[in-house]
Amino acid sequence: MANFSMPPTGFGPGSQPLAEDDELQYTVMPQDMRTYAPHTPEFDDAARVAAGTALMHRVAADCSASAKDLQSSDHDLTGLDADNRAFLKDVLGEGEVSVRLRGIPAIRAQESFFAGVWLLNGAGVDQLEIAPIPALALERAHQPHRPALLTAAPKPGDIANAPALLAELIDKSRSYQVGQMAHVINLTLLPHTEGDLTWLDAAVGEGSVTILSRGYGNCRVTATALAHVWRVQFYNSMDTLILDTFEVTQMPEVALAADEDLNDSAARILDVLETIK
């Protein structure tokens, strides 16, 4: 007889008839994926939302300008009345990316339907910002919310590769220059223990900025208290961690609106405004 032979007929999954109370079990498949769809805002009198319409024209121009130089511009919304606020809320909607900024004041930044157009709210803060990422996210990122203990972090018994990874992060953090290519440590591909992850978390601390991108699954970007060091974690649509990395960079690229995104936003805003003339 040969070393390998096919199993006899009638064996294996699916070979037997199901009983009356049996049900086939299917793997849960991904469901919804958010995509952009044109939207025409609804209002009774165009004259009553003239201020909001004029502001959106300026926002479209700012998107085009930011696509060229990637700089930030902002507009104060405190002077708008209820009608114009409702108009802006309808036009802008709520996009996939939100940013939590700790500090004084604490601020929540929410990206609109249009990539690179952000609504910022907090005590004394009510503004619209056009930028790849809100400027405060860069300014506050590594202000310690939980300090970096570095090598003074208590070591668990099962620690293995974390000290070497921390040494690499400290070295890259100190030598990083703005504009350099990001340095990535992929924890998913490296051997490590639960103790390694716990110790690294205490060693690098936590900064003041957390970014969540919701799309086909989630991406969580957390600033550490170590300069230029970010934790970037990707989850699939069933909320299972599929990629866990540290990035040494000014801001992880996954969190930024690219120049193409800003140009698209300018065009889409103008398309919306065309429908309400």
The domain spanning residue 245 has which CATH number? 3.30.1370.140
pTM of the predicted model, to two decimals? 0.82
Predicted local distance difference test score (pLDDT) of residue 247: 98
With respect to residue 184, please indicate whether it lies within any of the assigned structural domains.
yes
Predicted local distance difference test score (pLDDT) of residue 32: 52
Distance CA 91, CA 85 (A): 10
Predicted local distance difference test score (pLDDT) of residue 238: 85
> 228 and 182 share a domain?
yes
With respect to residue 32, please indicate whether it lies within any of the assigned structural domains.
no
> 67 and 120 share a domain?
yes
> 230 and 169 share a domain?
yes
Show the domain range for 51. 46-132+258-274
Distance CA 153, CA 230 (A): 18
With respect to residue 39, please indicate whether it lies within any of the assigned structural domains.
no
> 160 and 179 share a domain?
yes
pLDDT means over runs of 10, the chain (277 residues): 55 60 54 57 77 95 94 94 92 93 96 96 95 96 97 92 96 95 95 94 97 87 98 91 96 94 96 82
The count of domains in the chain is 2
With respect to residue 195, please indicate whether it lies within any of the assigned structural domains.
yes
Predicted local distance difference test score (pLDDT) of residue 228: 97
Predicted local distance difference test score (pLDDT) of residue 164: 95
> 119 and 62 share a domain?
yes
Predicted local distance difference test score (pLDDT) of residue 25: 58
With respect to residue 1, please indicate whether it lies within any of the assigned structural domains.
no
Predicted local distance difference test score (pLDDT) of residue 194: 93
Q: What is the DSSP string of the chain?
A: --S--PPPTT-STT-SPPPTT-----PPPP-------------S-GGGGHHHHHHHHHHHHHHHHHHHH---EEEE-TT--HHHHHHHHHHH---SEEEEE-SSS-EEEEE-SSTTEEEEEETTEEEEEESSS-HHHHHHTTS-SB---GGGSPPPTT--SHHHHHHHHHHHHHH--TTSPPEEEEGGGS---HHHHHHHHHHH-B-SEEEEEEESEEEEEEE-SSTTEEEEEEE-TT--EEEEEEEESSS-GGGSPPHHHHHHHHHHHHHHHHTT-
Predicted local distance difference test score (pLDDT) of residue 8: 58
With respect to residue 182, please indicate whether it lies within any of the assigned structural domains.
yes
